[in-house]
Structure 1
């Protein structure tokens, strides 16, 4: 649905990183436009750097000194002769000062005007603005500079339950649900504090809380000559803490009449600010009243979920961003836009859903990305890529198209199962579990669905098959490393043969032993204290093995690093700790001192990261809940606290890197003093040296 054109741009700089930079670079290459990537010190080996025609270092890992530095970006553009800059999303994509600086430097900002950024970048201003152009808004009060007293007074008219929202914010930060008037004062204090910290602006407004809300957004395109069209809607209701997880197009909620009405409302919002380029207008729709919709905000940039719109319309949105920025009139009419089939997208994050979605870091040891009919993967992943803690943890997006919604979901589920990432914990298993939820399959979505279903999701643990496979792999490696028959782990000796034993760290600490007797191709395997069974291991190809155990055959991808064995199967990755002799001894000693039912003394890191503070010293007496250390990864801090009162021992210092489940401290409970007996006189200070 595109036509050939000659652009004035010969060089375009992409002021972003990760999968969105890679996606923009792909269109630039297809159009024959020279591309320039920028990178921080943390991204020297990143995929977007390799894909670009040229790349410029812009600073250290900290975003404020690299991807958020206007001067660094403009210097890179001047250095490479870039006539235009595509900001992607996040970072500087909606920054008015950056757009103005580009204009002042004679560089085209591939996005809307500074005025559009100003109006739509403020939630209060944008709501009041679009209401004057016939766009429906949620009942509430939205004026700049409202005090807490004014908000409390207005709340009665807005009605309960209501939602407190920061004017300058996004991503759900600072939002507070208030069920009754007595909750409002404390909620306002919290919202202002979070808004001031996150955005440097504590301006708040109130909205009526929409019951069972669905998040529907409309993609628009507008040129410099007044033409505005929409490309249908996307359903983005599957969210966790106001962050989207799975998105699809079109929405299973809307009928054709509502689709036309909400599309025209989105176009009206865009026209109200003389919008140009690609933008998204977000609406809230009550699940039980799908014909009513309310404006929330306009995102003046490309959206993370734009691929689903591209798949159902056949329109390359980045291509049209380039064309419009180059001054070309919009060559599409509303009648040209037809929605074909259904598309659904899942965001792949470096995080651990089983541990409250804590971010994970690591190195990509093995990678396989899905391919097949109707499958699209937008990814920044590479084998050997280091995933650090400086940036957002999104790694890739897996997208599927099908002739209908059921087919699209089935293809996405298969694509997620075929995706392999070893070395970095991801949410792949969680995404598949969500897709199998009956409400998701039925299209009965709302923004609270994930929070309600999450407690019931059962994540896979390393079962006996996984542990047997791991032991067989180590057994085979020991056999291959043997230089003589006496070194082979055959277990042969006079009398009863002795099995080889392999120990693995299991979830939450603790060690499990697996005994293997015989050759890896057909060995007797005993997992823990369970009955032994025959296990058979055979190589498939480089990095893959087939394992048969207890009548079940699985193919595993594998990778090994110092202290770890990584196995992947059917979209699930298992990271098994291979404890050292010192760790085995420590665990045995700790086990002797444990009392059944008592608190465990060890305090373990729930995520890999960096120790940023240790507010206690070895030997200190601490109380239950007292902070012992703070770990940081991917802009998230996590406090590790004492499980009970006692004397603390600290194993780390600020600046140390820690791995998942590493012991960072232990707290020995204070023993109860015993009364001396006649046969055992009380100790005196002098007796301690006898």
Structure 2
């Protein structure tokens, strides 16, 4: 076994790999950009090396700097985690040439399966069914559009070089193909450095089921059962579970054998995942989609039901060991479900969010595991992936696992950064999810029922109680009664102290405490209409049951001045914190309603900012490459007379 392993990643996966290294008695080396100098994975590793400035291209994606860090610390092997260079054949080869063991599959297997076009051809030759789609690589925009028309919409555009849903575009209208192909190429190029695309038939109401495989360097390959990953947003998974309620034993065995054959077809070694698309009405008609040549985000659910530590087996296989078990020894016991906690706002179309973690409470207990890269003080910006942590629950059956996970999400507190924790808790209680009636479009169909912009009265009650408490004198002994914010008035009934409050994006509210309250440094309890409500608190944030609200003091004078600054015009604001990548207009340009004006990118996601109406660009406050905050004004469009009247 290795003495020292460098973990070429960050965040929760780096922390998770370091945990197993510590258990195995292997020294861990963390790497970090300047943005992560105080990150949790840096503190938990045995040693850490700075590898560059915040942009990933100059740090976590720099092969040269990672190899230099390995050489400086005496590392014998490199664990790439997932994302960044985990599926980069050049990196795997560079590690080998530097005398380092790459804890993953051979570079040739990464290159083969990383090219979705070649991968489909390879597994098809091995007898694995594949999704109908375009053939050949390097297709032009026109060829892709023609292939899409031949297949018939709806179709799915996919980057050949990557996964994780990045750059994928579902196209239902053939007239939109040109714009969607251009956008998919931009996202693919930004995410993977390669804008090659393919097009596949879209299967309506499909289920996404993947098989975990494990192979050693001695010809042994086994599968560890399946994971259901059908609950997704923007083609990216948010809930995963093992096993799937869809499969019976015969289908599980058949899909497992297909996954083993796919792994053998590319000479695979280590832990990998073969992904299938499955028609919900006919699970026996499954199709190969792609193979992920790395550890998956959702690997903990497989670890729970098999009792295996996949990172440990990655290390053992990389060190030359044989698998210590065969297919007949693999059993699935109980049920596990995972929820991905992401910095995003479900009420705003799951747009990325950001901020500083002011208060952190992560769940634990029987059957509950949290994989996290967070700590209080962590800055969540727009440079890296929005996933912050994962909460996993296990039980003897699915019902127990779901119940435990809902309870764990209710205990999850990440104040200062908007997350999807409360949304996920409600999603897990949706009747279709409880019944196991899943498909990849379910989240989009039910999202409006699970999010709301309404703020409960008790939130304003708690915010007012915090402000009232701050006004109370803190001295002992005699207190000047005129300094006590009791609402007392000479010759009249007491008038409660009211506070003007505002939740960003909503109208202001003036609220006075109507009941009893108990305020502590990180908690506030209020009684409203006879019901007790408890919140976590930090600065101007309040949270409970996985949800959080930022309740600010409202200054009506300042707000009025802000509105006056743009009187007679409409301002376009940044939908999320990020970077402006495209600016298509200049001051003075005439624009049409719905015309694309700018593109903002954050956490590998693009958002197009369009004109709300026809008009003239009177202000343009950004240039390509500019970093913007959420709701920052980007441009102002003065409406034309026709549009205005």
TM over 0.5: yes
Equivalent of 2:538 in 559, 569, 580: 559
- Whether 1:573 aligns to 2:556 is no
Counterpart in the other structure of 1:240 = 233
Indicate whether 1:83 and 2:90 are aligned: no
Structure 2 residue aligned with 1:587, among 547, 556, 559? 559
C-alpha distance in structure 2 between counterparts of 1:543 and 1:272, whole Å: 56
Q: Does 2:576 correspond to 1:607?
A: yes
Alignment partner of 1:445 is 2:438: yes
Contact kept, 8 Å, 1:510 with 1:587, in 2: the verdict is: no
- Is 1:537 matched up with 2:537? no
CA distance in 2, matches of 1:254, 1:430: 27
User: Residue by residue, what CA displacement relative to the aligned partner does 1:431-459 show, whole Å, maximum 9, x if unpaired?
Assistant: 11211221111111111111222233333
Distance 1:400-1:450 versus aligned 2 partners, 3 A rule: same
Contact between 1:509 and 1:661, CA under 8 Å: does it hold in 2? no
Q: 3-state DSSP class of the match of 2:251?
A: helix
Equivalent residue number for residue 483 of structure 2: 487
- Corresponding residue of 1:472: 465
Q: Distance in 2 between matches of 1:86 and 1:593?
A: 53
Distance 1:213 1:469 in 2: 44
Whether the aligned pair in 2 keeps the contact of 1:23 and 1:378 (CA below 8 Å) is: yes
CA drift of 1:182 comes to 7.6
Kindly indicate whether the alpha-carbon contact (under 8 Å) linking 1:279 and 1:302 is maintained by their aligned counterparts in 2: yes
Which digits, 9 at most, give the CA deviation of each residue in 1:255-286, with x for residues without a partner? 00111111111111111222111011111111
Cα distance 1:384–1:230, how it changes in 2: closer, same or farther (>3 A)? same
Structure 1's unaligned 5+ residue stretches are: 1-6, 516-524, 526-533, 673-690
Select 2:391's aligned residue among 389, 398, 413: 398
Q: Does 1:96 align with 2:89?
A: yes
Q: Alpha-carbon deviations, 1:658-681, whole Å to 9, x = none?
A: 655566777777899xxxxxxxxx
State the superposition RMSD in angstroms: 3.3
Residue deviations 1:349-379 (CA, integer Å, cap 9, x gap): 0111111111111111111111111101000
C-alpha contact 1:374 1:411 (8 A) present in aligned 2? yes
Alignment of structure 1 residues 142-221 onto 2, 5 Å:
142-146=135-139, 161-177=154-170, 195=188, 199-221=192-214
TM score, norm. by length of structure 2: 0.90
What are the residue-to-residue correspondences of 1:367-446 with 2, within 5 Å? 367-446=360-439
Q: Which has the higher contact order (CA 8 A, sep 6+)?
A: 2
The partner residue of 1:227 within 220, 225, 231 is 220
C-alpha distance in 2, partners of 1:59/1:594? 41
TM-score normalised by length of structure 1: 0.84
Aligned to 2:498: 501
Counterpart of 1:34 (choices 10, 22, 27) is 27
Instruction: Provide the rounded CA distance (Å) in 2 between the counterparts of 1:285 and 1:438.
Output: 21
CA distance in 1, matches of 2:250, 2:565: 69
Whether 1:334 aligns to 2:327 is: yes
- 1:600 is displaced (CA, Å) by 8.6
State whether residues 622 and 645 of structure 1, in contact with CA within 8 Å, keep that contact through their aligned partners in structure 2.
Answer: yes
Is the partner of 1:268 in helix, strand or coil? helix
Alpha-carbon distance between aligned partners in 2 of 1:611 and 1:499, rounded to the nearest angstrom: 46
Hey, what's the Cα distance between the residues in 2 that align with 1:451 and 1:209? 16
Partner of residue 529, structure 2 = 550
Give the Å deviation of 1:508.
Answer: 2.2
- Aligned equivalent of 2:261: 268
Alpha-carbon distance in structure 2 between the residues aligned to 1:273 and 1:645: 54
Query: Given that residues 413 and 543 in structure 2 are in contact (C-alpha distance below 8 angstroms), is that contact kept between their aligned partners in structure 1?
Result: yes
